[in-house]
Chain A
């Protein structure tokens, strides 16, 4: 298994509170991603990073921000949690290099977030 650790694994929070999810990798991969998985929608990209301090928006970025101060850590912050952000959040990584477009994605085990 790729060395990807997500924390926490489960979280319940109240509407309006800020929440930070952490993804830690031990593979020294350049690219990191945050996805959310919802029934009927599959996996959707929230934000991604292509290097330290280099991040960009994905398909469903509203209400989320990210930071990457070290290669191994990628943080996802819900600035003011809403019930629509109840979901399972997955971090993924992929390698860098000239063949990066053909490098597989590897996923962490996810964080189940419930916003009440």
Chain B
């Protein structure tokens, strides 16, 4: 069974700092990995999706990398801002549409 781990569970950083969020998974035979952010009381907003054949994806200040062989993905946030404060989740798709496993998230607080 695929297990997805996100460490740390919570992170607090000063504004302007570059930071890295981690996502580890146990089964490397994945189709893709998706990063989301979730604001309190809201749904999940898709940030980036990395296909299994890709090494990284970039969107603005966000860069996600994927290393299938080691079962790891990182989400790099450059020049963090208070508006980046949210919970960040990763989700790994093993195969069909029902085979998506979510991590429990990293709660990020960016302090002004």
Interface residues, chain A, CB within 8 Å of chain B? 1, 4, 31, 33, 40-45, 48, 50, 56, 58, 90, 92, 94, 100-102, 104-110
Contact = CB atoms under 8 A, between A and B. Distances in A.
Contact of A108 (B43, B51, B97): B43
Contacts of B34: 104-105
A104 B98 contact: no
Interface in B59-112: 89, 91, 93, 95-98, 100, 102-105
Contacts of B93: 101
Contact of B31 (A1, A56, A102, A106): A102
A1 B105 CA distance: 21
Contacts of A45: 98, 100
A109 B38 CA distance: 10
B46 A106 contact: yes
Contacts of B51: 102
B43 A107 contact: yes
Contact of B102 (A43, A50, A58): A43
Nearest to A50: B97
B44 interface: yes
Nearest to A48: B98
A92 to B, nearest CB: 8
A94 B44 CA distance: 13
Contact of B105 (A42, A104, A108): A42
Given A94-B97, A108-B43, 9 more contacts: A4-B43, A42-B89, A42-B103, A43-B102, A45-B100, A101-B96, A102-B49, A104-B46, A105-B46
Contact of A109 (B42, B89, B91, B102): B42
10 contacts: A42-B89, A42-B102, A42-B105, A94-B97, A101-B95, A101-B96, A105-B100, A107-B36, A107-B44, A108-B43
B45 to A, nearest CB: 8
Q: Which of B36, B45, B98 has the most CB of A within 10 A?
A: B98
B32 interface: yes
